[in-house]
Structure 1
Amino acid sequence: MILYYSRNGSTQQLADAIANGVRKAGAEPLLRTIASDDDAASARDLALSTAELQDCDALIMGSPTRFGHMHSGLQKFWEQTSREWLRGALVDKPAAVFTSSSSMHGGQESTLLSMLVPLLHHGMMVLGIPYTEPGLQQTTSGGTPYGASHVEHAAGSRLSQHELALAEELGARVAKAAFGLRTNQH
């Protein structure tokens, strides 16, 4: 499952690229959004249910950078998952994060790290992007070992070649981990 909030489309582009990576790994991505108060009607059809959260094999979460932190709608969502936390509904499921910002020093890494906190509390297994990925060494815009990212100022509103490749790799990596865990459980 790819859970995200996007206001101006950059985080949506990352979500789509991650979904392509999931597909390339042979899995079917489920994209869901978190609506904010000002756009609840437009995102209602894609909103995440707690049943979908419990049934997911893996979770990749994305948000634009908001002062070095995730969007408040995502934070609010996680604050309402105590029931799932108490049941251990997400324990041992692979997880990853992604973000976008308008500038190179807009707080991407702190946003990615802050998004990991609820995933860790839920007992998820966090995956990043290893330095063996060539794009991580070559990018002049987004991309970190903590997760996929996009810097709008450096590359415009469209993902750069490296950002796209790194997002797809993250999606494929999480899907492969979910397949591996499912195979080992049976």
Structure 2
Amino acid sequence: MSKPCPYVLVLFYSRHGATGKMARLVAEGIEKTGLEARVRTVPEVSPETRATSPAVPPTGAVYCSEDDLRNCAGLVMGSPTRFGNMAAPLKYFIDGTSSLWLAGSLADKPAAVFTSTASLHGGQESTLLSMQLPLMHHGMLLVGLPYTHSELTETRGGGTPYGASHHAGTDGARGLDSHESALCRALGERVAKLSLTLHAGATHVQS
């Protein structure tokens, strides 16, 4: 029986749409390598910290399942910032992945992060770092953006070595500029290339 084709999971939460746009650009970078980009989101949560959204979202990306996460060859995770941290819906989902942690299901798989903020100094880097912490606990291999990408030094908006970022403006009206878009695609492509290499190596060892 043939094994399923590897894919990179793009897991995100987006409140006003900017992070969702970043997710689609990340997916473009992944698909440039020939790998599938599986784009998934998470439901809203109530103030009582329980899921409140319908089982299937009416529009946009479908909700992520545990199997989507378990079987991915790589992961790129995105969230808007909330006081310098990832948004509660995404953290709620990640907090429920202890069974994957116990099984080591995500160990040795590449992972990267991205974020969108209302202000330039609204916690982009701390949000990216906070998102990396649970991925490290899962044993994932963190992927950043090296300064070989000239956009990191040329940008007047988002862009960090810790992951792709976007400055949406206080009204959320500022779209992704060319530098921010290029870094989103570059992040997806880097994770996809590493996923292909590691997947091929694992397949060779198993055979």
Matched residue, 2:70: 54
Cα distance in 2 for residues equivalent to 1:37 and 1:51: 21
Cα distance in 2 for residues equivalent to 1:100 and 1:58: 21
Is contact 2:45-2:88 (8 Å) kept? no
Cα distance in 2 for residues equivalent to 1:124 and 1:104: 28
Is 1:122 the counterpart of 2:159 in the alignment?
A: no
Q: Which residue among 153, 171, 174 is the counterpart of 2:188?
A: 171
Which deviations, in whole Å up to 9, do the C-alpha atoms of 1:114-166 show, x marking residues without a partner? Answer: 00001000000000000110101100000100000110129943110000000
Which stretch shows the higher mean deviation, 75-84 or 42-51? 42-51
Shift of residue 26, structure 1, vs aligned partner: 1.4
Is contact 2:30-2:191 (8 Å) kept? yes
Shift of residue 109, structure 1, vs aligned partner: 0.3
Count of aligned positions: 186
Shift of residue 43, structure 1, vs aligned partner: 3.2
Is contact 2:12-2:42 (8 Å) kept? yes
Matched residue, 1:148: 164
Shift of residue 77, structure 1, vs aligned partner: 1.0
Is 1:76 the counterpart of 2:92 in the alignment?
A: yes
Is contact 1:21-1:169 (8 Å) kept? yes
Matched residue, 2:200: 183
Is contact 1:152-1:158 (8 Å) kept? yes
Q: Once superposed, what is the RMSD of the aligned Cα atoms?
A: 1.7
Is contact 1:10-1:157 (8 Å) kept? no
Q: Which residue among 40, 48, 53 is the counterpart of 2:53?
A: 40
Any unmatched runs of 5+ in structure 2?
1-8, 47-51
Any unmatched runs of 5+ in structure 1?
none
Q: How does 1:66-145 map to 2 (within 5 A)?
A: 66-145=82-161
Is 1:13 the counterpart of 2:21 in the alignment?
A: yes
Cα distance in 2 for residues equivalent to 1:56 and 1:162: 28
Whichever residue aligns with residue 161 of structure 1, its letter is: S
Question: Under a length normalisation based on structure 1, what TM-score does the superposition of the two structures give?
Answer: 0.95
Shift of residue 87, structure 1, vs aligned partner: 0.3
Question: Under a length normalisation based on structure 2, what TM-score does the superposition of the two structures give?
Answer: 0.86
Highest CA radius of gyration, 1 or 2? 2
Is contact 1:4-1:33 (8 Å) kept? yes
Is contact 2:28-2:188 (8 Å) kept? yes
Identity %: 48
